[in-house]
Amino acid sequence: MKKYNLFLAGQWVTGKQYAEVTDKATGEVIAQTAVAGEAEVKQAVDAAEQAFQSVSLSPYERYAIISKAASLMLDRQEEFAVLLSREAGKPIRDARGEIGRAYQTLILSAEEAKRLTGEMVPIQGAPGCGNRMAYTKRQPLGVVCAITPFNFPVNLACHKLGPALAAGNTVVYKPASATPLTAVLLCEVFQQAGLPAGCLNLVMGPGALVGDLLAKDERIRMFSFTGSVPVGKSLQKSAGFRRVALELGSNSANIVHGDVKDVKEVAELCARYAFTNAGQVCISCQRVYVERPIYEKFCLAAKAYAQTLETGDLMQETTTLGPMIAEKEAVRIEAWVKEACEDGAKLLTGGTRSGAYFAPTILTDTKPGMKVICRETFAPVFSIMPYDTIDEAIASVNASTYGLQAGVFTSSLEIAHACAEKIQAGGIIINDGATFRMDNMPYGGVKDSGIGREGPAWAIRELTEEKLVVFNFS
């Protein structure tokens, strides 16, 4: 069985302990990964700090290295995709898609390395400053800690590593314990691309151990974290005055107004967005509010689509639904659905479980206080609810502690504008679902959905310090 080691100061380092990684579809142990302890975490931060002080890469050199890493990853796309499919439980088609997106994310990041611009400050417009000149410039923060989730372990890692390195920072990278294998491959391609030793360091292990050790190290100047609300809030508290970027999930809502051109098309799109990656997407379609005149038609079309999804061998292109990340998560959502049904919700389709697989599930007659509505399901489950007025729909969308993205389907410019203005979310997607995301757009939420924005151009703003320079020529 292959063992995957830590990457510290440009060297692959064995661990005192190793953890098992399983194939999420079969439960088979497919690899072992080194677990970092206190000494290894310190070594990683030491290496990152030393590299930040000693390595001086020009913006062009950063661009060249990140671009080469992207190309090397694309050259190994199938290797990445197969490993991703096994460790994350993704159908191979989806895994290949993620690697393609990760490539684009790194290319976007590389380009941003060449765009670290400041601006002239019109200081001469102030009295007595006729002989002065001022401008701003952006400089790296120092050591950045990237903590990534299991659901998109390659692309979301690239959303953190790419901008951090493009900005001139050094990185300590901690992947999710369930999906650490592709993290090793990412470090390999950066090493092969010529990234100097210490600029990227990989530590693996449970968040309760490794994450806590990282949070306590004051030399880390920023934490970029994607994960649960409780862990994110705990990290923010530990960080103190240090910067954090937190993407903490959602229970994304969509509004479907009665004036949409094709009800069936919108229903199928919402269902597809709900079941992609077994619903384990932060902006997965979880709540759909449908105007009452088209409600029944929408429900029937969504149900019909859900019943077309196929499980099976993840390596087959025809497989469209994989397992959840662990059987305990499937057991959890099974209990949530059962609880909702006992409280009056109706099961339109699905609701069954086989090991870690949970059938595509649609609920109706749900109530605001049900877990499937007010919490993040992170499972292939969504609810459809009717509404009578657009104000009622907007109020229902906003009745959530989350606010990552929302989708609005309508032919009315007036309604679209009202939703864009009134819905409390980091992104409002008009005539597409809340699940829509391109890697070059700003991405982040409000309320419990987090702090800060991803997307290379916007992430770099968080990952750099703005410095003012003033010249006195008198």
Instruction: Write down the domain spans for the chain.
Output: 3-249+449-471, 253-442
DSSP character at residue 368: T
The CATH number of 3-249+449-471 is: 3.40.605.10
Q: What's the pLDDT at 1?
A: 85
pLDDT, one tens digit for every residue, the chain (474 residues): 899 999 999 999 999 999 999 999 999 999 999 999 999 999 999 999 999 999 999 999 999 999 999 999 999 999 999 999 999 999 999 999 999 999 999 999 999 999 999 999 999 999 999 999 999 999 999 999 999 999 999 999 999 999 999 999 999 999 999 999 999 999 999 999 999 999 999 999 999 999 999 999 999 999 999 999 999 999 999 999 999 999 998 999 999 999 999 999 999 999 999 999 999 999 999 999 999 999 999 999 999 999 999 999 999 999 999 999 999 999 999 999 999 999 999 999 999 999 999 999 999 999 999 999 999 999 999 999 999 999 999 999 999 999 999 999 999 999 999 999 999 999 999 999 999 999 999 999 999 999 999 999 999 999 999 999 999 998
Tell which residue, 428, 384, 437, 435, has the closest CA to residue 410.
428
| Strand positions, DSSP E, 318-452 | 346-349, 353-354, 357-358, 361-364, 381-387, 405-409, 427-430, 450-451
* 247 counts as catalytic: yes
Q: Which residues of 28-59 are buried (b: 16+ CB within 10 A; e: fewer)?
A: eebbbbbbbbeebbebbbbbbbebbeeeebee
Tell which residue, 31, 44, 449, has the closest CA to residue 249.
449
Question: 51: part of which helix (H) or strand (E)?
Answer: helix 38-54
Q: What count of other Cβ atoms lies within 10 Å of the Cβ of residue 467?
A: 11
Break the chain down into helix, strand, coil percent, rounded to 5. 40, 25, 35
Residues 405, 410, 411, 414, Cα dihedral to 10°? -70
Q: What's the pLDDT at 106?
A: 98
The verdict on pTM exceeding 0.85 is yes
Q: Which ranges of 76-171 does DSSP label H, i.e. alpha helix?
A: 77-88, 92-113, 155-166
Q: What's the pLDDT at 177?
A: 96
The CA distance from 26 to 435, in Å, is 28
Say which of 40, 49, 87, 247 is annotated catalytic.
247
Topology of domain 253-442 in CATH is Aldehyde Dehydrogenase; Chain A, domain 2 (3.40.309)
Equal fold, 3-249+449-471 vs 253-442: no
CB 34 within 8 A of CB 204: yes
Q: What's the pLDDT at 170?
A: 98
* 282 counts as catalytic: yes
Residue tagged 């968040």 (tokens): 207
Say which of 187, 270, 282, 285 is annotated catalytic.
282
Paired residues of 138 in beta bridges:
466
Question: 53: part of which helix (H) or strand (E)?
Answer: helix 38-54
Q: Which residues of 321-345 are buried (b: 16+ CB within 10 A; e: fewer)?
A: bbbbbbbebbebbbebbeebbeeeb
